[in-house]
Structure 1
Amino acid sequence: MSGMQVIKPGPLTLLQDLGRQGWQHLGVSPAGPMDGQAARWANRLVGNPVTAPLLEIALGGAEFEIQADTWLALTGAPLDARLDGESLPPWSCFPVHAGARLRLGFAQAGQRAYLAAAGGGFQASPTLGSVASNRREGLGGADGRGGPLVAGQVLACAKVRGLHERRCGPAWRFVPDYRQSPTLRVIFGGDAEAFGMAQQEAFCAQPWRLSPQSDRMGIRLGGATPLVPPRRQWSLGVVTGAIQVPPDGQPIVLMADRQTMGGYPLLGFVHPLDLGRLAQCPAHHEVRFAPVELTEAQADWRRFLAFFGG
């Protein structure tokens, strides 16, 4: 087997695809990339299907030895990326040759970078129809048990030549500036009516800071004025992007490795196109929220899926 050997895995590098669909009724989380937009761009740049497996590299600090001539794409958080010492631009697609070394420094902004290989992505045996890593549930990943990459592992990928005439990347208008404090769109729903209009307005009126206790399961937010959640006596199914409000009034945005059921009241849902931007915010980073109508969010999502082919 040849492709790419892990020399340094970095703090947390996971094999992901678009997630494990069709199993939530059995309590299985979908997993998948935290920043779905950056992941889709990485696969698009090397001509892969949108579902092709790729690497999610948290914070950077990784190193790989190339074992097969192919093309790679790197998107997401900008890193000091170097191929045999030559600097690589962010959000780019580039050829690599057997014996080359790819070194990724630590993120200069954002939290997660995505590395895709041409020819269908990195190969691994699927678990419940997906290779997406979920460490909490022990599913997927290069080892089949949800684990992160470790030094010495070899990720198989196809030999690909002549993909492009030169290096390429998306138009810069598609590349987010992870240094900025974003305003994220929220679709009020779920238990929003029980919260009341005053609490909805309070949620959008103040900045919220990301807690260091945030992870792939949920982004915890802290605000100067906590919300006052209504009481709920039963659990309901939840989705990625749902905004739970526990009794302390500090919201939690459910992310890729979320649970499938939850008992905390739901204030609403983060616009699916803004979840990736939230996933790139570091601890203590400030975000704000603004309301968006459901019909507008649905139209945005349809255009996004059409652009990336579903």
Structure 2
Amino acid sequence: MSFKVIDPGMIALVQDGGRAGYQHLGVTTGGPMDEHAFDWANWLLGNPRGSAALEITYGMLVLEALSDMTFALAGADLGATLNGKPLLPWQQYQVQAGDRLKFGTPENGLRAYLAFPGGIQTVARLGSAATVTREKLGGLDGSGKPLQRGDRLLSMESAVAEQRAMPDWAIPDYSEPLKMGLILGYQYECFSITQRMKFFTAPYTVTSNIDRMGYRLQGEPVASEQNGIISEGIALGAVQIPQDGQPIVLMRDRQTIGGYPKIGCVFSLDLAKLAQRKPGDIVEFRLMDVAEAENRRMLYDRQFNH
């Protein structure tokens, strides 16, 4: 069961659950920008959690089926069509040999996930197929390359164990206002009460300077009492405040250490929502305590661990 890449589009990357345990060596985790959509795409096919799937950013990808197969589509609506007929995300689909799957441009959201039965066949590097192009790790052959014209995507299994349908409550609307939970930490005490109030009450605009490494936001500048710090480890979702006062939210391909003051860390499931926002979208921050974060994470994980 396989697809051939006719046109790789803007950028399409193989991602699995991420490359854990190597940040002390300077190797970042990688993994899906939108964990929620990635997990549900695999769930639709009954795949083990973290199975390798395709992350399609912006669209323009064209695939041709080389055999009859099943796939699942989740995440952003990138104007996907099958032989010219529109497809909606958050569903399973069947294709026959010769069918063409095409993606247009974003209609709602920015990143879609394409999952195959059992996952995509890959060559693992450091225990993962997560593609980090900067580090030349992951992807189909382990070299860190995005999809190329002529590549073949092979599924690990030939059939789907059972037909599944998404619960309505689990389907997000990426056009909804986004207020991200921020867990305090790092250099939070280095920001005055006035600066903290500005940060939590001002809206921020997603700029065009966004990628898998970080999202730069534009809005009310926030000043730290420290201009810099000794470089330290950086967690997923850390919010750096450089000298211009404009927040940078660090994403899946972030550097492993950094020396900018950080006001806190965005909760991971809210970070997944940020990954679907486009330049010009408005986002805000709110205080979140660790207990709320742990509760939301536990409830989320239960959907896939049982």
**TM-score, length basis structure 1:** 0.94
Task: Please say if residues 71 and 163 of structure 1, whose CA atoms lie closer than 8 Å, have aligned partners that are also in contact.
Answer: no
Matched, 1:274 2:270: yes
- Alpha carbons of 1:206 and 1:161: their partners in 2 closer, same or farther (altered >3 Å)? same
Aligned partners of 2:229 and 2:105: how far apart in 1? 45
Matched, 1:263 2:262: no
Matched, 1:147 2:145: yes
Residue in 2 that maps onto 1:254: 250
Residue in 2 that maps onto 1:292: 288
Residue in 1 that maps onto 2:59: 60
Aligned partners of 1:183 and 1:162: how far apart in 2? 37
Task: Please say if residues 244 and 253 of structure 1, whose CA atoms lie closer than 8 Å, have aligned partners that are also in contact.
Answer: yes
Aligned partners of 1:290 and 1:170: how far apart in 2? 29
Letter in structure 1 aligned against 2:297: W
- Alpha carbons of 1:301 and 1:162: their partners in 2 closer, same or farther (altered >3 Å)? closer
Residue in 1 that maps onto 2:235: 239
- Alpha carbons of 1:6 and 1:293: their partners in 2 closer, same or farther (altered >3 Å)? same
Identity of aligned residues (%): 42
- Of stretches 230-239 and 213-222 in structure 1, the one that deviates more from structure 2 is 230-239
Aligned partners of 1:289 and 1:184: how far apart in 2? 5
Matched, 1:309 2:302: no
Residue in 2 that maps onto 1:17: 16
- Of stretches 172-181 and 267-276 in structure 1, the one that deviates more from structure 2 is 172-181
Aligned partners of 1:88 and 1:233: how far apart in 2? 49
Deviations 1:34-78 (A, max 9, x none): 001100000000110111100000111111111233221001101
Task: Please say if residues 14 and 129 of structure 2, whose CA atoms lie closer than 8 Å, have aligned partners that are also in contact.
Answer: yes
Query: What RMSD over aligned residues (CA atoms) do the two structures have, in Å?
Result: 1.6
Task: Please say if residues 70 and 160 of structure 1, whose CA atoms lie closer than 8 Å, have aligned partners that are also in contact.
Answer: yes
Q: Secondary structure at the match of 1:184?
A: strand
Letter in structure 2 aligned against 1:222: Q
- Of stretches 207-216 and 142-151 in structure 1, the one that deviates more from structure 2 is 142-151
Residue in 2 that maps onto 1:115: 114
Q: CA deviation at 1:164?
A: 4.1
Letter in structure 2 aligned against 1:136: R
Aligned partners of 2:211 and 2:97: how far apart in 1? 35
Equivalent of residue 179 in structure 2, options 176, 183, 189:
183
Residue in 2 that maps onto 1:226: 221
Residue in 1 that maps onto 2:27: 28
- Of stretches 153-162 and 126-135 in structure 1, the one that deviates more from structure 2 is 153-162
- Alpha carbons of 1:308 and 1:164: their partners in 2 closer, same or farther (altered >3 Å)? closer
Deviations 1:260-290 (A, max 9, x none): 1111111001111101110111112111111
Unaligned residue ranges in structure 1 (runs of 5+): none
Residue in 2 that maps onto 1:77: 76
Residue in 1 that maps onto 2:85: 86
Aligned partners of 2:265 and 2:181: how far apart in 1? 9
Matched, 1:138 2:133: no
Aligned partners of 2:26 and 2:160: how far apart in 1? 44
Aligned partners of 2:221 and 2:290: how far apart in 1? 25
Aligned partners of 2:160 and 2:75: how far apart in 1? 25
Q: Secondary structure at the match of 1:25?
A: helix
Q: Secondary structure at the match of 1:37?
A: helix
Deviations 1:213-256 (A, max 9, x none): 11110101111x20011314311111110011111111111000
Q: CA deviation at 1:11?
A: 0.3
Aligned length: 305
Letter in structure 1 aligned against 2:107: Q
Q: CA deviation at 1:170?
A: 1.2
Aligned partners of 2:111 and 2:88: how far apart in 1? 16
Map 1:209-224 → 2, pairs under 5 A: 209-223=205-219
Residue in 2 that maps onto 1:95: 94
Letter in structure 1 aligned against 2:222: L
Task: Please say if residues 119 and 157 of structure 2, whose CA atoms lie closer than 8 Å, have aligned partners that are also in contact.
Answer: no
